[in-house]
Amino acid sequence: MGLFDGKKGIVLGVANDNSIAWAVAKFLMDEGALCGFTHLPDRPDDERQRNRRRVSQLTDTYPNHAKFLLPLDVCKDEDLQSVMKTAGETLGKLDFVVHSIAYAGMDDLKRDTIDTSREGFKTAMEISAYSLLAVAREARPYLNNPASIVTMTYFGGEKAVPGYNVMGICKAALDSCVKYLAFDLGPQGVWVNAVSAGPVRTLAGRAAGVDDMLSLYEKMAPMQRNITHEEVGRSAAFLLSDLSNGITGEILHVDAGYNVMGSPGRLLDEVKLGG
């Protein structure tokens, strides 16, 4: 018996095999879940359909568990409605939704936060924060009672992390969306939580300067190491499972303890030795 035998849901945000969303999906399907997937829409002139192909190469390895793959632009309500309609027709009532979607333009990520463009801010906030509200709203008629929603956040929404810039503001908004959705959907038996992962190498992570954070986390975190994709996947799966049905509106930190530190910790020893 798998933890997710008989469970069905959708996974939004897989881009490639390094995506956190894929780590979550793999665990779910290995434990028996049936999943629907989405991918970034391909440009009309892209005959190779690169975005779809990257994801289909992954989902094709789970032919008995990956039930559909559709394009999704979270800025378009009609796309969301189409995905949820297909999910309902293909899977029936949904037991879980994985939201792993964020975006900010490179020009804005590279700027100091104060220099974020107006349009860049709007785009980043719509895709990275508002999309969770939109996904939950369109999914609500298709959700089981009980059901679970999990999104992916980062410590840069709680504290200022230089280099994370406008995305940190978006994550702060996302964290708040989690709490308000927990209240709105609680009477329907839906619990809503977020996983705050430490730095891992992903397509989005590289854009946000994750490589520079890895050595810092390894030295400062109580466990003196970085976390893995698999650890994030297992933790998200816990929040999606019936094991967590008394938890809602929470942010679960999977960062080897980095978030509890109020000083550089053992990194101070290196500073003293160097000084």
User: What are 126-183's pLDDT values in tens digits?
Assistant: 999 999 999 999 999 999 999 999 999 999 999 999 999 999 999 999 999 999 999 9
Mind giving me the DSSP string for 19-78? -HHHHHHHHHHHTT-EEEEEEPPPPTT-TT-HHHHHHHHHHTT-TTTEEEEEE--TT-HH
Domains belonging to the chain, first-starting first, are 8-274 (3.40.50.720)
3-class secondary structure, 159:
coil
Task: Check if the beta carbon of residue 142 is closer than 8 Å to that of residue 88.
Answer: yes
Q: What is the pLDDT of residues 49-101, one digit of tens each?
A: 999 999 999 999 999 999 999 999 999 999 999 999 999 999 999 999 999 99
Q: Which residues are catalytic?
A: 154, 164
